[in-house]
């Protein structure tokens, strides 16, 4: 029983839309208020990253089930320049976009599972999962 | 599987079906005896008879042409769940299923035909499978009970108490794990908002030890409270815990720590502009400074 | 794009964020506030985020920037009404909002500004 929801990220207002859709899905999964807030914040960071660094992308919002618990999985994909040095990109305070450098490293701390696939010129795919407690 | 064998298997299966049908009363009686003796004292005989009757019918039905075992599995799952809840042991629960094998064996022995014996081998396998299924349901039910209890524990964990107007405290008692600390801390922060309290005391006198994660949670709570506009004091840190925190290299920074809850309260009162005046040696009077 | 209104109460400017902010609105608010501080000669700025469900690093940085700019223009900034879930998330994210003063609610925010100023700066409004 998997439901999914695909959204484009093309403008600033799409980032707001992504937050709202993720919030609704998080409520449906039964995440606690704090966990809802964490996953929506992570989604906001990652959606903005896709917009700022790749000029846009898309997100797939999925409700998943590992047999014991339900969870929310978000897959952010873009066809942008990719990330040449992943460990560096995941370091607190590292930025190439003039931000605080907390987008990637911070959102990793806000979710239970974090998977980043990227190579220069091949875009970026970031999959994050938050399980209901 | 060869043709000859499958014919034989079918014949055996049919024979078992016939035996179950023809000898329903003696087999059932024996089964009830075995199941009853293994779970003596726990269950009243009337309800056991009812359960076994239903199971017997379902077993019979699952062996028939339709070979539909969904009813049977449903019944077994229910049986395992209720037994797990009532505190039966795994053996007591499984014996109910395996007892049918023993009960039928006596009938098969009397019959003595090769079909019946071959059928019994097949029947044992079916019962073994059902036994395993029962055990799985039982384990799942126990697991569920444990999870429920853990949640209940979290709920009744720790109250947030008001010490003074604008000062609340959480007296933490017992071993803290990461989940419990998180729940308590969320509750504390929510109480700050609800009561408009600007001071909180986290008292860990009753906590024997903390690990890195718990220490981090305490720390994060203090920082989160600051973001909301409130100050936290941690009191009652035992020497061992202080040792742990320092050796783990956890930075407590400028967080206020006090030896006892009383010291923490005094600190919070001072911060909110309330002064203590000591009178005649032992008595303490409190005077509020009007703003 | 929605603009967040800036209210004036005596020497204090009050901003109450009631909508899901998009990045442009955040930047616009930053400019509006700086302009208003200068235009009104306000001594304090209160940003009420009681209704805000999430604060990500972008909005967090906006709050810190507003505080820094206002201080340069001789006004103190207080962020009030942050929800517990938002505070916990910000800590986890790694944002400490250094340099930003906080209070539990609007009332305590006003009291804090008065205390900082040492004078009743809202008396002008009465």
- Residue B5, pLDDT score: 46
**Which chain B residues are closer than 8 Å to A34 by Cβ?**
182, 186
Q: Is residue C1 domain-resident? A: no
Mean pLDDT for the stretch of residues B242-259? 83
Which pLDDT score, from 0 to 100, does residue B96 have? 85
Q: Is residue C105 part of a domain?
A: yes
Query: C88 and B190 in contact by Cβ < 8 A?
Result: no
Domain hosting C69: range is 6-125
Q: Under DSSP, is residue B139 helix (H, G, I), strand (E, B) or coil?
A: helix
Q: Where does CATH 3.30.750.24 sit in chain B?
A: 161-288
For position A97, what pLDDT does the model report? 66
The set of chains that have 3 or more CB pairs under 8 A with C is A, B
pLDDT at B66: 61
* Among B residues 175-194, those touching chain A with beta carbons less than 8 Å apart: 179, 182, 186
How many residues would you count in chain C?
126
Whose CA is closest to A33, among B230, C49, C84, B229? C84
Find chain C residues with C-beta within 8 A of A41's C-beta.
54-56, 89, 93
Give B94's pLDDT tier (boundaries 50, 70, 90): confident
β pairing state of B199-206 and B167-173:
parallel
- Give the Cα separation of C101 and C7 in Å (integer): 19
Of the candidates A16, A23, A102, which has its C-beta nearest C95's C-beta? A102
Average pLDDT score over chain C:
88
Residue C77 CA from chain centroid, whole number: 5
Q: Show Cβ contacts of residue A59 under 8 Å, excluding neighbours closer than 6 positions.
A: A6, A7, A9, A18, A43, A46, A47, A50, A74, A75, A76, A77
* The predicted structure's pLDDT at residue B216: 86
Whether C20 and A102 lie within 8 Å, measured CB to CB = no
- Is-contact C78 C109, C-beta < 8 A? yes
> Tokens in use for C108?
């305590």
Task: Look at domain B161-288 and name its CATH class.
Answer: alpha beta
Q: Do C108 and B190 touch (CB under 8 A)?
A: no
For chain C, how many structural domains are there in total?
Answer: 1
User: What does pLDDT average to over chain B?
Assistant: 83
- Coil, helix or strand at residue B168: strand
Our separate counts of H helices and E strands in chain B read: 10, 7
What CA–CA distance (Å, rounded) separates B204 from B235?
6
Q: Residue B277: how many CB atoms within 10 A of its CB?
A: 8
C-alpha–C-alpha distance, residues C91 and B219, integer Å: 10
Q: Is C60 an interface residue toward B (CB < 8 Å)?
A: no
Q: Tell if the CB–CB gap between A34 and B179 is shorter than 8 Å.
A: no
For A:104-133, CB contacts with B below 8 A are 133
| pLDDT score recorded for residue B71 | 81
- pLDDT more than 90, % of chain C: 67
Q: Does domain A3-131 have CATH number 2.20.28.120?
A: no
Intervals of CATH 1.10.490.130 along chain B? 3-151
C80–B224 C-beta distance less than 8 A? no
Task: State the pLDDT at residue C125.
Answer: 44
**Domain extents in chain A:** 3-131
Searching chain A, which residue's CA lies closest to the CA of residue B143?
A68
Query: Mind telling me how many Å the CA of C71 is from chain A's nearest CA?
Result: 21
Please tell me whether residue B277 adopts helix, strand or coil conformation: strand
C102 vs B185, B221, B226: nearest CB: B226
Interval B100-113: pLDDT, tens: 888 888 888 888 88
Please answer whether residues B232 and B222 qualify as being in contact, where contact means their C-beta atoms are separated by less than 8 angstroms.
yes
- pLDDT of B32 reads 85
Q: Examine the pLDDT at A2 and tell me if it is beyond 60.
A: no
Per residue in C56-111, pLDDT tens? 988 998 899 999 999 999 999 999 999 999 999 999 998 888 789 999 999 999 99
Question: What are φ and ψ of residue C120, in 5° steps?
Answer: -80, 90
Phi then psi dihedrals of residue A7, to 5 deg: -130, 140
DSSP secondary structure letter of residue A80: S
Neighbours of B166 (CB within 10 A): 22
Q: Does domain B3-151 have CATH number 1.10.490.130?
A: yes
What CATH number is given to the structural domain containing C108?
A: 3.30.750.24
Do strands C6-9 and C12-16 pair parallel, antiparallel, or not at all (unpaired)? antiparallel
Chain A positions touching chain C (beta carbons under 8 Å): 12-13, 15-16, 19-20, 23, 33-34, 36-38, 40-41, 44-45, 48, 92, 99-100, 102-103, 105-107, 109-110
Residue-wise pLDDT tens digits, B140-189 = 888 888 888 877 776 666 788 999 999 999 998 888 888 888 888 899 99
Q: What is the DSSP letter of A99?
A: S
User: Using the beta-carbon criterion (under 8 Å), do B220 and C92 form an inter-chain contact?
Assistant: yes
* Per-residue model confidence as pLDDT tens digits over A85-112: 888 888 877 777 666 677 888 899 999 9
What sign for the dihedral angle of Cα B71, B73, B78, B83? positive
Residue pLDDT, tens place only, B2-46: 444 444 667 888 888 888 888 888 888 888 888 887 765 666 778
Q: What pLDDT score was predicted for residue C111?
A: 92
Contacts with C85 from chain A: Cβ below 8 Å: 33-34, 36-38
Q: Under an 8 A CB cutoff, do B179 and A133 touch?
A: yes
Q: Judge whether C103 lies within some domain.
A: yes
């Amino acid at each position: 029983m998997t439901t999914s929801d695909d959204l484009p990220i093309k403008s600033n207002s799409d980032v707001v839309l992504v937050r709202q859709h993720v919030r609704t899905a998080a409520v449906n999964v039964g995440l606690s208020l704090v966990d809802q807030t964490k996953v929506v914040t992570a989604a906001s960071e990652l959606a903005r990253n896709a917009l700022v660094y790749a000029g846009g992308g898309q997100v797939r919002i999925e409700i998943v089930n590992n047999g014991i618990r339900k969870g929310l999985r978000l897959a952010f994909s873009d066809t942008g320049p990719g990330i040449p040095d992943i460990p560096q990109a995941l370091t607190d305070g590292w930025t190439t976009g003039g931000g605080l450098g907390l987008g990637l490293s911070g959102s990793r701390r806000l979710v239970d599972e974090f998977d980043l696939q990227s190579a220069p010129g091949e875009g970026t795919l970031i999959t994050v999962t938050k399980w209901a407690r | 599987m060869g043709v000859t064998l499958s014919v034989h298997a079918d014949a055996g299966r049919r024979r078992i079906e016939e035996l179950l049908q023809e000898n329903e009363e003696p087999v059932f009686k024996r089964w009830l005896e075995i199941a009853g003796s293994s779970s003596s004292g726990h269950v009243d005989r009337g309800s056991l008879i009812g359960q076994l009757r239903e199971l017997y019918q379902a077993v019979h039905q699952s062996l028939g042409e339709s070979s539909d075992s969904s009813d049977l599995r449903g019944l077994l799952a229910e049986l395992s769940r209720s037994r797990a809840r009532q505190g039966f042991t795994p053996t007591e629960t499984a014996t109910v299923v395996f007892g049918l094998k023993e009960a039928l064996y006596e009938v098969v022995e009397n019959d003595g035909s090769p079909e019946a014996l071959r059928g019994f081998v097949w029947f044992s396998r079916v019962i073994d499978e059902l036994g395993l299924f029962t055990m799985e349901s039982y384990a799942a039910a126990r697991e569920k009970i444990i999870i429920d209890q853990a949640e209940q524990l979290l709920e009744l964990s720790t109250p947030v108490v008001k010490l003074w107007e604008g000062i609340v405290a959480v007296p933490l008692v017992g071993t803290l794990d990461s989940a419990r600390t998180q729940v308590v801390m969320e509750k504390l922060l929510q109480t700050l908002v609800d009561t408009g309290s600007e001071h909180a005391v986290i008292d860990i006198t009753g906590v024997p030890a903390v690990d890195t994660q718990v220490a981090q949670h305490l720390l994060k709570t203090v920082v989160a409270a600051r973001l909301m506009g409130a100050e936290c004091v941690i009191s009652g840190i035992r020497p061992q815990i202080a040792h742990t925190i320092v050796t783990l290299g956890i930075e407590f920074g400028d967080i206020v720590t006090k030896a006892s809850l009383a010291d923490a309260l005094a600190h919070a009162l001072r911060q909110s502009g309330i002064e203590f005046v000591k009178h005649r040696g032992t008595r303490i009077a409190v005077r509020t400074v009007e703003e | 794009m929605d603009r967040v209104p800036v209210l004036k109460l005596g020497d204090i400017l009050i901003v109450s964020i009631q909508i899901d902010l998009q990045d442009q609105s955040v930047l616009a608010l930053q400019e509006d506030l700086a302009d208003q501080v200068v235009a009104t000669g306000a001594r304090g700025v209160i940003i009420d985020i009681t209704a805000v469900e999430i604060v990500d690093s972008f909005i967090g940085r906006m709050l810190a920037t507003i505080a820094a700019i206002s201080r340069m223009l001789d006004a103190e900034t207080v962020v009030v009404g942050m929800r517990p879930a938002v505070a916990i998330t910000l800590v986890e994210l790694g944002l400490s909002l250094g340099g930003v003063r906080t209070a539990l609610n609007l009332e305590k925010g006003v009291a804090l500004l008065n205390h900082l100023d040492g004078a009743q700066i809202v008396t002008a409004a009465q």
